[in-house]
Amino acid sequence: MASEMLYPVMPIYLKSIGFSILLIGILEGIAEATAGISKGYFGKLSDISGKRVPFVRIGYALSAVSKPMMAFFIYPLWIFFARTVDRFGKGIRTGARDALLSDEAVIESKGRVFGFHRSMDTLGAVIGPVSALVYLYFYPGNYIQLFYLAFIPGFLAVAASFYLKDNKIKTQTVKVSAPLFSFLSYWRESPSEYRKVVTGFLVFSLFNSSDVFLLLKAKETGMDDTLVISAYIFYNLIYALFAFPAGIIADRIGLKKIFISGLIMFAAVYFGMAVSSNLFFVFGLFFLYGIYASATEGISKAWISNITDKKDTATAIGSYSGFQSVCSLIASMLTGLIWHLFGAAAAFVTSASVTVLVTFYFLTLPKPSTSVIE
């Protein structure tokens, strides 16, 4: 809720203080790259230490503090710093949090466990923008105060984390530190199936830029701030409603099948965005985008947790998330550059075309060694 109060407002706010489309792309990319490196590192540290909860707690605390920081000053360097603190917090908590979820599931229920998490997470992503929409209705254009208000749910998230307790995890070493890029060695040590699956994920990530660009494209079609935020709320509502059912279905018919269906939805949305100009058509695309997210976000992590050793869960997911964030850096910068040079349509068609190729890649992968990920 805290993060999503600001996310749909962020590109509008940044443009209002002088950020160009290209600079917004660079900002989002650098922020995600910072999150990426920290996801891998702190995922590895969580596995080494055998602890999950402290990483979750500290991660949410940093993200909460970053919200009001965005409003203190409007200097570009300060904005970059505040946004990076937010993503650093996400990096600290992600691997440990997902490992905590995986530890509470069995292999036959990974889809529904991660799907339920995505549903609840995204429910907050519905409440957050609705709160922002109501606020901006009464105080149009007053973005600064919204950043301060976002600290409240952020603080409540930190408080809620104190109800979490660590399970006892056996570790082979008492060492609780590691070199910053030590998680990179996991790629060589990981199962071949992990490398094949994650390779496909990462190629897709290289052309899956920040959702900011979808919101900017919606704005270009003539939507005002209220409609842009409404479209984002609608997307998150669909995501929240379908993520848990998608996880249940994935446990029954296979995670791979559901993930591929999500890629097909993504390609359809991006091809559609390249030619969209009608308000109702744009809302229809945001509906499909919600289906895509529900079929991929939690499913990818459930898939990874099923093909890796339990003692390496945080490292495996953290490493993937880390590589993914670096790819997002490239994707956001590349999309911003293509948009700047050739226009929005070219940027969206490029992403959609590569996604079609990635879909064929997953279709050609050999049958997984575990029946639940067929």
The least confident of 27-31, 142-146, 313-317 is 27-31
Q: Is the pLDDT of residue 369 over 70?
A: no
pLDDT of residue 351: 92
Average pLDDT over residues 123-135: 84
Tell me how far apart the alpha carbons of residues 17 and 224 are, in angstroms, rounded to a whole number: 18
Select from 1.20.1250.20, 3.30.479.30, 1.10.1740.10, 3.40.50.150 the CATH code of 2-162+184-373: 1.20.1250.20
The least confident of 82-86, 197-201, 262-266 is 82-86
Q: Where residue 51 falls among pLDDT bands split at 50, 70, 90? A: confident
pLDDT of residue 352: 93
Q: Is the pLDDT of residue 276 over 50?
A: yes
Q: Which residue has the higher pLDDT, 228 or 272?
A: 272
Q: Where residue 371 falls among pLDDT bands split at 50, 70, 90? A: very low
pTM: 0.75
Q: Where residue 155 falls among pLDDT bands split at 50, 70, 90? A: very high
Question: What residues does each domain of the chain span?
Answer: 2-162+184-373
Q: Which residue has the higher pLDDT, 204 or 185?
A: 204
Average pLDDT over residues 331-338: 85
- The string of pLDDT tens digits covering residues 112-128 is 888 888 888 888 878 88
